[in-house]
């Protein structure tokens, strides 16, 4: 067995947005906009690591599935089940495009179960889903460690 072929290539993290955001008059990277949920924990873990930030997607109530470094503006849009359902098709298309650009074997999904149900599982061979990542971020750390993320 070729061990190198079995190792994950890069990994993918999908994280839910948060109600708490910085207030700004100009667009900022999405990863910097959100101040709640588990995004600060993830941001502190990854820091400015460009290659890892390219592999982080945020499920945003306003913008759908966006890259961590995509520029966005402050907004108020609750993530309701209705809104999540409306985003289903565009989110799935965005996920497919991302996986084509950044192929990977594993995904770490940090979403409440109801939003994961709407979005669907990423098309990767291995999916790690943590429905309460604030309480269980040690498990996320373990997975990121296995990917050799900072």
**pLDDT tens digits for the chain (150 residues)?**
334 444 445 799 999 999 999 999 999 999 999 999 999 999 999 999 999 999 999 999 999 999 999 999 999 998 888 898 899 999 999 999 999 999 999 999 999 888 888 888 998 999 999 999 999 999 999 999 999 999
How far does Cα 144 stand from its chain's mean position? 13
Q: Which backbone phi and psi does 5 adopt, to 5 degrees?
A: -70, -20
**Domains observed in the chain:** 10-146 (3.40.470)
Q: Which tokens sit at 6?
A: 């079995």
- C-alpha closest to that of 67 among 38, 33, 37, 44: 33
CB count within 10 Å of CB 143 equals 18
- C-alpha closest to that of 60 among 42, 40, 99, 33: 33
30 with 68: CB under 8 angstroms? yes
């Amino acid at each position: 067995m070729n061990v190198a072929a079995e190792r994950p290539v890069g990994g993918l993290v999908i994280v839910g947005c948060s109600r708490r955001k910085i207030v700004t008059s100009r667009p900022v990277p999405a990863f910097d906009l959100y101040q709640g949920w588990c995004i600060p924990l993830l941001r502190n873990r990854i820091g400015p690591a460009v290659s890892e930030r390219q592999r982080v997607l945020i499920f945003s109530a306003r913008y759908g599935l966006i890259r961590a470094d995509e520029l966005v503006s402050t907004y108020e849009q609750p993530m309701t089940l209705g809104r999540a359902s409306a985003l289903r098709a565009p989110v799935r298309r965005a996920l497919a495009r991302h996986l084509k650009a950044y192929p990977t074997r594993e995904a770490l999904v940090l979403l409440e179960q109801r939003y994961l149900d709407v979005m669907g599982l990423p098309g990767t061979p291995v999916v790690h889903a943590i429905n309460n990542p604030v309480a269980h971020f040690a498990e996320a750390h373990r997975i990121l460690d296995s990917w050799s993320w900072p």
